[in-house]
Structure 1
Amino acid sequence: MALAERGNELTAIQALRAGAADYLPKRLLTPSRLKSALDRAFVALDRSMPEARAAATKRRAAAPLATGQPTITGYEIIRTLSESEKAVVYLAESRALGTEVALKVSKIPCEDRAKQALAREYQAILAVHDPAVVRIFDHGIEDGYEYLAMEYFPHGDLKARMQVGVTESEALRFLEKIGSALAVVHRAGLLHRDLKPPNVMLRESDNVVLIDFGLARLLDVSHHSTYTGVLRGSPYYMSPEQALGEKLDPRSDLYSLGVIFHEMLTGRKPFMGNSAMEVLQ
């Protein structure tokens, strides 16, 4: 990218021949013009260097995502919203949409399609078209790591709301709204399998939105709910049949909703323990 204090058509031609992606006279430079030029430059770089990008992806995929904010083409990361063992969720600005999004980036290298956990979540959410389920905007792989761009909820989640306390009438309203949201998911042929307060987001109107479909499964699939020795889900909210790895139906999600309702009314979970296994036992 060439920025010129003084110049003319000749210097512009010389800059482009030397390999510059664009030539910008400083007197005409504006933030929007610079942003557009950089976007075009990144796209051109991606198209002109496929082999170099493939080699870089292979090198970076050899190790987990390093600490610090990643670079995802088309998004400007603002800050970290949350982090788990497997992924980080950032607040980001989407250049294409011109709005803020929640950008979920995997911390685990994506070596093949069978291991693309966010791709499965992406497909699950696409199966449901309802305001009670988070909107999905984009899915891709950058430098060997998956990312998922979703609707951002500035009003936070049910967990934060519960920490300041909810009344009995509010708890009943949330129970009804979450139950209606689950009905939408179940009618679409899905089980959520990880319903818990952090996965229930709130709109300004206090309407609820379900997020995090990473463990969602089709209702008509006859496999067991987990793999031997692998606990999938949140122990405090997990149904007994899910903990035992048995075949699940919508009642498993309703059990999780019952635990949330108990917690809203009493301020505590019905089953506690010093470890996940103690809770499940």
Structure 2
Amino acid sequence: MPPKLIGPYRVMETLGSGGVGTVYRALDRRTSDPVALKLLSAGPALDTRAARRLAREYETLADLSHPNVVRVFDVGVFQGYPYLVMELIEGLTLRNYLNLRGADLLSPSGSFSTPRSRSLPDDFDSWSDEDEAASHADDDDEESGPSPFNLSAFSEEEPSEDMSLHAGAESVRALADAADEPDTGELEAFEEPLEVPDPKVQLVERRIQEARTEDLNRPERMGKLKDAMLQVCEALAYIHGHGLMHRDLKPSNIMVDEDRQVRLMDFGLAKFLADDAGLTADGRMVGTFRYMAPEQILGEPLDARADLYSLGVILYELMTGRTPFDAKTPSALWQQVLEVEPAPILGINLKGDPQLARVAHKLLRKEPDDRFQTAEEVYEALAE
């Protein structure tokens, strides 16, 4: 299919698609810069929550500039299709990046030799922000669903002044409001499949886990993990310093480019600390269940330490191959998060890095006051 025009952007190729939209590699014809363009479905297929997240993400990031935080450039509605233009990142999600071995890391041209995610989360096939099952923390299977619409509907001609192009986050939010109930300012939590296998499957998985921990502890992998965590800390220190919480930190929202530079992605649930609320106006939680801090589950006021708890879940998962807690239902999972101490990392991964394990366990303390208090403190502990 030949490239099409979406406002001032020329679409070059599809990077990924899902049930509510598609991400394209595009070219800004005004600057000749490559960009990533998220385009949501329109009409009856419009996902109004996704549209509001698009507007929120732009508003959150528009004035931020940090090497470890993804940049956004434009947002609006084109012929009924909400879009967000952002930095094009040629890279992999953190989990897939850590899976790479030395010989596979770079191709002769200097780029990643495996399929690249390019500004997409691991779970973009559903675009629901549900992360992979925690027991498959190092699985690198990625799928892309069929495109939900056809770009042939767009003109190849130069856009005229009267074409249906409306710039700005408010145009996206107005479109969502017209298609659905008024925006409450919040979005609900992401329900993930929470399944517990039968005992025979568990036995097999334990044996596999024992073999996999050897791979988890490869010096090259651990070096990359530590370096990535330091960069994530720098990103968190920056956004927290600007009064923001991410509120949906997880491996699929962390990308690593070809220069091994980390980018924190997907700020659709980010919120200013001064405007904090743990729950929505109608009692819904926001975030992804497996990575939620206890205070987030309880609907208590949140601060930056909730993001640090999520960072602890990520570190625990990437050191052991599983998240700290797993259960059959969300309510059972929440009970574990609130009442149960996570199994010791070094009891699961006997040869794991003791320093990283100590950092992870302190991040996972139930009480925010018992955790590291800032991302800078976490950075210092990791750098020791």
Q: TM-score range by the shorter chain?
A: 0.5 to 0.7
Conserved in 2, the CA contact under 8 Å of 1:167 and 1:265?
A: no
Deviation of 1:159 after TM superposition, in Å, equals 2.7
TM-score by length of 1: 0.66
Per the TM alignment, residue 123 of structure 1 is displaced from its structure 2 partner at its CA by 1.1
| Residue 245 (structure 1) shift | 2.2
Residue 297 of structure 2: aligned partner? 243
What is the letter of the counterpart of residue 78 of structure 2? Answer: E
Q: Which gives a bigger RCO, structure 1 or 2 (Cα 8 Å, sep 6+)? A: 2
1:204 is aligned, of 258, 272, 283, to 258
Bigger Rg, which one: 1
Counterpart residue number, 1:270 = 324
**AA partner of residue 10 (structure 2):** E
Give 1:139's aligned residue: 75
| 1:227 Cα offset (Å) | 4.4
Per the alignment, residue 87 of structure 2 pairs with 151
- The structural deviation recorded for 1:121 is 1.2
Which AA in structure 2 matches 1:179? C
Give the match's secondary structure for 2:295: helix
Superposition map of 1:155-174 within 5 A? 155-164=91-100, 167-174=221-228
Q: Match for 1:160: what amino acid?
A: N
Structure 1 segment 107-118 matched on structure 2, within 5 A: 107=41, 116-118=52-54
Contact (CA 8 Å) 1:219, 1:249: kept in 2 or not? yes
Q: Whole-Å Cα distance in 1 between the matches of residues 329 and 31 of structure 2?
A: 43
Q: Which residues of structure 1 form unaligned runs of 5+? A: 1-68
Residue-pair matches, total: 212
Which of 21, 31, 35 is the equivalent residue of 1:101? 35
TM superposition shift of 1:74: 2.4
| Whole-angstrom CA distance in 2 between matches of 1:273 and 1:78 | 43
Bigger share in strand: 1
Q: Which residue of 2 aligns with 1:261?
A: 315
Output the CA distance in 2 between the equivalents of 1:152 and 1:250: 27
Q: Which runs of 5+ in 2 are unaligned?
A: 101-215, 336-384
CA contact (8 A) 1:106 1:146 kept: yes
Residues 120-156 of structure 1: per-residue CA shift (max 9 Å, x gap)? 2111002322111111121111122321100111122
Judge conservation of contact 1:111–1:144 (CA < 8 Å) in 2: no
Q: Determine the structure 1 residue equivalent to 2:232.
A: 178
Q: Give CA deviations for 1:28-67 in whole Å, capped at 9, x if unaligned.
A: xxxxxxxxxxxxxxxxxxxxxxxxxxxxxxxxxxxxxxxx
Q: Aligned-pair distance for 1:167?
A: 2.4
Q: Greater shift after overlay, 172-181 or 210-219? A: 172-181
Deviation, 1:70, is 8.7
Q: Secondary structure of 2:274's partner? A: coil
Q: 1:97 to 1:263 in 2, by over 3 A?
A: farther
Question: Aligned runs of 1:56-95 on 2, under 5 Å?
Answer: 72-83=6-17, 86-95=20-29
